[in-house]
């Protein structure tokens, strides 16, 4: 089969690799029909995170089950399925608690299950990892494209909103206008927030934020942005979604949080070196909740809304490519030409 392979920073290629096969009785093999490129894929693309040369890549799979191992019960060949960016057994202490990202099996796409940016992928622990799309929607292209973000960014934005404690009538500030931040706006709106202040630096993305429910946008930078957000919220918001993971975004989140408020953070804190945010939080009893999003826990409720037509995160896909276009997709995301790239296979 053909699959995207990492050959070094800035170098992603489509190569011929062996077809995946059932290795364990709990495996499934999925023929990929839709997948995506993630902001976190840019870490290795930019050389900010080590990845072995030759690694298969991609962690947002959607497709059709092609084969299953003897012990797989929940899916069968022909089912349309999607899976979160983390593999989960569905049976351990943490999966039972809904904390699927802490699954005791500790497996990852790419390293353990193959990459989702390819024609096929092996899905370990298929019963825990794969989620079936109801047959009625299995070939509804609009529904499938709206469901695809549930594999990662929509669940992650939702985790930020839930972790920040957003509820009906609340005022929320969303820090970051990437795909996760935009999904955070959508999630906050879905959870009933009355005012949503979206903070970012790109007019086109803030336009999407407004279409997703942001009532105000702040496009200034640094101290000016903080001042503007604090003014809009009369001194800070009780609910802040940190959707970047950079040092400046953590500091902004802490600064725009109201005393006693909560930051829901879902941006992997790769670039946070100063602990300034901690002192700010400490002095005003601001809580920090969240972490790597256990999106599997949210797929059922989010899918229900997508299928009933009240949730559609697909506008975050501002560019669509075929498998051959994956290298171009990385380039476009790296250069911020695209918010998020969808990959559609035949």
Query: Which stretches of 229-316 are assigned E, i.e. beta strand?
Result: 237-242, 257-265, 287-290
For a second copy, the closer of residues 107 and 268 by Cβ is 268
Of 280 and 320, nearer to a second copy (C-beta) is 280
> Closest approach of Cβ 275 to a second copy, in Å?
5
Nearer to a second copy, 1 or 99 (CB): 99
Least gap, CB of 108 to a second copy (angstroms): 12
315: phi then psi, degrees, rounded to nearest 5: -60, -10
User: Which candidate, 13, 36, 22, places its Cα nearest to that of 65?
Assistant: 22
Nearest Cα neighbor of 29 from 123, 131, 133, 129 is 123
Judged by the rule CB under 8 A, the positions of this chain that interact with a second copy are 94, 97, 99, 101-102, 163, 259-260, 265, 268-269, 272-275, 278-279, 281-292, 294
The nearest distance, CB 245 to a second copy, in angstroms, is 8
Q: Which helix (H) or strand (E) holds 31?
A: strand 28-37
Alpha carbon 12 to chain centroid distance?
21
Minimum distance between the CB of residue 53 and a second copy, rounded to whole angstroms?
25
Strand partners, 263: 240, 288
State which residue, 1 or 292, has the beta carbon closest to a second copy: 292
Count other Cβ atoms within 10 Å, centred on residue 43.
15
Residue 51 or 292 with smaller CB distance to a second copy: 292
6 - beta bridge partners?
12
Could you tell me the smallest distance in angstroms from the CB atom of residue 262 to a second copy? Answer: 8
Provide the minimum distance between the beta carbon of 343 and a second copy in the complex, in angstroms, as a whole number.
27
The values of phi and psi at residue 61, to 5°, are -85, 140
Of the pair 43, 137, the CB lying nearest a second copy is at 43
Task: Give the other-Cβ count within 10 Å of 96's Cβ.
Answer: 10
């Amino acid at each position: 089969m053909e699959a995207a392979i990492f050959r070094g920073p800035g170098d992603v290629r489509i190569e011929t690799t062996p077809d995946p096969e059932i290795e364990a009785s709990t495996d499934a093999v999925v023929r990929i029909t839709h997948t995506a490129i993630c902001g976190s894929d840019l870490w290795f693309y930019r050389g900010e995170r080590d990845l072995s040369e030759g690694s298969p890549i991609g962690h947002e799979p959607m497709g059709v089950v092609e084969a299953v191992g003897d012990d797989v019960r929940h899916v069968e060949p022909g089912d349309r399925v999607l899976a979160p960016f983390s593999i989960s057994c569905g049976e351990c202490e943490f999966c039972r608690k809904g904390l699927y990202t802490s699954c005791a099996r500790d497996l990852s796409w790419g390293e353990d299950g193959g990459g989702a940016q390819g024609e096929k992928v092996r899905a370990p622990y298929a019963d825990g990892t794969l989620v079936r799309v109801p047959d009625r929607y299995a070939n509804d292209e609009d529904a499938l494209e709206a469901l695809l973000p549930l594999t990662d960014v929509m669940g992650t934005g939702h985790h930020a909103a839930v972790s920040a404690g957003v509820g009906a009538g609340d005022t929320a500030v969303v820090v970051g206008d990437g795909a996760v931040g935009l999904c955070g706006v959508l999630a906050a709106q879905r959870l009933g927030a009355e005012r949503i202040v979206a903070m970012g630096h790109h007019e086109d993305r803030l336009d999407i934020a407004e279409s997703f429910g942001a009532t105000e946008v702040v496009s200034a930078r640094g101290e000016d942005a903080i001042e503007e957000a604090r003014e809009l919220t009369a001194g800070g918001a009780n609910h802040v979604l940190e959707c970047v993971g950079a040092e400046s975004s953590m500091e902004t989140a802490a600064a725009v949080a109201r005393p006693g408020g909560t930051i829901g953070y879902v941006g992997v804190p790769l670039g946070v070196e100063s602990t300034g945010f901690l002192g700010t939080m400490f002095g005003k009893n601001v809580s920090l909740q969240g972490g790597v999003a256990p999106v599997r826990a949210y797929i059922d409720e989010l899918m229900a809304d997508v299928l009933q037509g009240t949730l559609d995160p697909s506008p975050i896909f501002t560019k669509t490519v075929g498998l051959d276009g994956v290298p171009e997709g990385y380039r476009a995301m790296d250069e911020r030409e695209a918010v998020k790239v969808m990959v559609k296979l035949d």
